[in-house]
Chain A
Amino acid sequence: MKRVLVIDDATTVRMYYRQVLEAQGFAVEEAGNGYEGLEKALASPFDLYIVDVNMPKMDGYTLLRTVRQEPSISATPAIMISTEGQNQDAVAAYVAGANLYFQKPVRPETLVLHVRLLTGENPP
């Protein structure tokens, strides 16, 4: 079972991604800010990170830059999802190390499709 780490300060958003992904057979863990996300990412392997941009303590850009410099987790793909929809926001996400960038809200079928693509998980 592929493991996904959802890092977002909004409890409801984390619950939403969890419900959508667990219904499709993914194992989901949650973190409420960048520091907590980094700790969990370093503690055990994940197949994908879903990362919010604006979070307290450590924002998503800083988290992804840190992940990409940490050899043990640097190859893990990441989807960055933000409320910000300008082209410059997507560019900033890719520069920080995101593999994909979406503006919130992401439709469930879109999220599942791209999580499958990035984790190599086939549909059931």
Chain B
Amino acid sequence: MALIRKTHTPSDGDSRRLLRDREGLLRQLDDESAEARRWAALDLAVFPEAAEALCAHLQREIQPAVRQAMLTALIEIGSDAVVEGLLPLLRSEDAAVRNPVVEAFQHLPDAVSPHIETMLQDSDPDYRIFTVNVLNNLRHPQTPGWLQTVIESDADINVCAAAVEVLAEVGALAAIPALTALPGRFADDPFMQFCVQAAIRRIQGK
């Protein structure tokens, strides 16, 4: 007896009883039911080749719970394709799209780390700040070194201030000489002087 595929639009009550193969799940990312989209996203976590589609849908998804499910699936997949797909979203004007990408990258240190140096040299200072924010919880051995390079070379005071904040968080003792030298690059700004003094105190545990 042939199996009969269900093709109707799901309601919240049967949002996980539809086709669970990859193609069926990908179609359900466009379902009018947010619950169906959420379950489809979660179930796509076992299909690495769904990364590109999940990233594309993430950009236009408006329901926070569905966005979170998409990010959960993407973190589970955790491939280079996921990082490639999420990188453009870091430029989104919508903080609700951008912030979860920062959090997702923090869970993917091995996949993200090859991109960090390029991201830190982007022409957009806000993009560089978001990259520094990624470093905040990346748990990668190169993090203090990347941050030190920022405070030694980045021309934007807000990018440097963000890096100082993260250096204080990660407690990088080796960065103290570079921190001490930083206010000299922004000599007339009391905010940077305050940031550096506070960071050094936090790193030294005072």
Which residues of A are at the interface with B, using a C-beta cutoff of 8 A? 10-13, 15-16, 19, 53-57, 59-62, 83-84, 88, 104-108
Quick one: given A54-B95, A83-B125, are A12 and B158 in contact (CB under 8 Å)? Answer: no
The residue in B95, B103, B158 that gathers the most chain A C-beta atoms within 10 A of its C-beta is B95
Determine the distance from Cα of A49 to Cα of B131 in the docked complex, in whole angstroms: 27
CB distance from A43 to the nearest CB of B (A): 24
Quick one: given A83-B158, A105-B189, A105-B191, are A12 and B165 in contact (CB under 8 Å)? Answer: yes
Closest to A104 in B: B158
A-B contact pairs, 5 of them (CB 8 A): A10-B162, A59-B99, A83-B125, A83-B129, A84-B126
- Provide the residues of chain A in CB contact with B161, threshold 8 Å: 10, 12-13, 104-105
CB atoms of A11 and B168 under 8 A apart: yes
Determine the distance from Cα of A101 to Cα of B157 in the docked complex, in whole angstroms: 18
CB atoms of B126 and A56 under 8 A apart: no
A-B contact count (CB 8 A): 66
Beyond A54-B130, A105-B157, 8 extra complex contacts between A and B, CB < 8 Å: A11-B198, A15-B194, A56-B102, A62-B96, A83-B129, A83-B158, A83-B162, A88-B93
Determine the distance from Cα of A37 to Cα of B153 in the docked complex, in whole angstroms: 34
Closest to B166 in A: A10
Report B112-124 CB contacts with A as 1/0, cut-off 8 Å. Answer: 0000000000000
B175 part of interface (Cβ distance < 8 Å): no
CB atoms of A105 and B95 under 8 A apart: no
CB atoms of B191 and A16 under 8 A apart: yes
CB atoms of B165 and A11 under 8 A apart: yes
Q: Please report which residues of chain B, range 181-201, place their CB below 8 angstroms from some CB of chain A when the two chains form the complex.
A: 189-192, 194-195, 198-199
CB atoms of B99 and A12 under 8 A apart: no
CB distance from A79 to the nearest CB of B (A): 15
Partner of B95, one of A15, A16, A62: A62
Closest to A11 in B: B165
CB distance from B95 to the nearest CB of A (A): 4
Partner of A15, one of B126, B192, B198: B198
CB distance from B200 to the nearest CB of A (A): 11
Partner of A12, one of B93, B157, B189, B199: B199
Determine the distance from Cα of A106 to Cα of B165 in the docked complex, in whole angstroms: 17
Closest to B125 in A: A83
Determine the distance from Cα of A12 to Cα of B133 in the docked complex, in whole angstroms: 14
CB atoms of A19 and B194 under 8 A apart: yes
- Provide the residues of chain B in CB contact with A104, threshold 8 Å: 157-158, 161, 191
The residue in B125, B157, B162, B168 that gathers the most chain A C-beta atoms within 10 A of its C-beta is B162
- Provide the residues of chain B in CB contact with A10, threshold 8 Å: 161-162, 165
B36 part of interface (Cβ distance < 8 Å): no
Quick one: given A12-B161, A16-B194, A16-B195, are A59 and B126 in contact (CB under 8 Å)? Answer: no
Determine the distance from Cα of A16 to Cα of B158 in the docked complex, in whole angstroms: 14
B82 part of interface (Cβ distance < 8 Å): no
- Provide the residues of chain A in CB contact with B202, threshold 8 Å: 11
